[in-house]
Amino acid sequence: MTTHYKSIFAPGLLAGKVIVVTGGGSGIGRCTAHELSALGAQVVLIGRKSARLHDVAGEIAADGGRATYHACDIRDEAAVRTTVMAIVVAHGRIDGLVNNAGGQYITPLESISAKGWEAVLNTNLTGGFLMARECYLQSMQAHGGAIVNIVADIWGSMPNMGHSGAARAGMVSFTETAAAEWAHSGVRVNAVAPGYIASSGMDHYPPEAGPMLREMSKTVPLGRFGTEAETAAAIVFLLSPAANFISGDVLRVDGARPQVRMGWPMKMPDEQARQREAVKPFEGFHRGTVPRVFQE
């Protein structure tokens, strides 16, 4: 492949840095891993399915970057501890962690079982805590580092995804607490909250969700979905030296969607406005694809 990631950041910005990306086999995690690699980082991909991780590591290698991977269920405390240990042994330290792994399903609160509730909280909250704690204890406590937790647009709640909303809100609180407790070790902890992002994760929703997904952009003041590359850019910024005095914060990437209010006549951007430089989609990911739901 002759094209490469079109990052807006300076070449070599993260040269020599070892950065772990959970959920690196698809979606925002895959895109972020590509950008980190393009900026010189040694990327370590984490996920449950080795085949996906192998494929993404192969893409990164084909583009001239460096990536290794470890299959790990982040909900398993012993597995997380062992995996982080293996990363530190292989690379000497961990400079950054992108806690991106997550998942949920559409259902109203009254239909969520205890097992389903626990599964979503374990993936989106407990797993992220375990990864952050072990990266801190095994490397960052001694060497410093930066952590970026991926949450979601929880402002105004998450109807039909109450389990995910509770987990993400917990991760925001964890982010703030870790930022305070770990600052003395030279560790920064922030979060990125993607809004409606056109990501491959949408392909996992049932077909009947298609019409709803296609209408969602009409509730966004900027009038569109965000891209994986726009989310990755926010993550890279928070990992970079430009954010060295930012900790305990949440950077929203959502086109002002939470500001929409009932009774306010929102005006959608016309085509001319959509083409203005300040709001045009950033399409930096050269291997990005359009989710199937938008190809119909």
Most confident stretch, 160-164, 173-177, 263-267, 283-287: 173-177
For residue 42, is pLDDT > 60? yes
pLDDT band at 169; cut points 50, 70, 90: very high
Q: Considering only residues 7 and 205, tell me which one the structure prediction assigns the higher pLDDT.
A: 7
Mean pLDDT of the chain: 93
d(Cα 119, Cα 102) in Å, to the nearest integer?
A: 10
- Burial grade of 110 (CB within 10 A; 0-12, 13-18, 19 or more): exposed
Which domains are seen in the chain, by residue range?
Answer: 18-279 (3.40.50.720)
For residue 111, is pLDDT > 60? yes
Please, which residues bridge with residue 227 across strands?
none
For residue 155, is pLDDT > 50? yes
For residue 43, is pLDDT > 90? yes
CB-side exposure of 112: number of CA atoms within 13 Å? 20
For 103, phi then psi, to 5°, come to 175, 155
The model's pLDDT over 226-244, given as tens digits with 9 standing for 90+, comes to: 999 999 999 999 999 999 9
Yes or no: say if 31 and 229 are a contact pair by the CB < 8 Å rule: yes
pLDDT band at 265; cut points 50, 70, 90: confident
The model's pLDDT over 47-105, given as tens digits with 9 standing for 90+, comes to: 999 999 999 999 999 999 999 999 999 999 999 999 999 999 999 999 999 999 988 88
In this prediction the pTM is 0.94
For residue 1, is pLDDT > 70? no
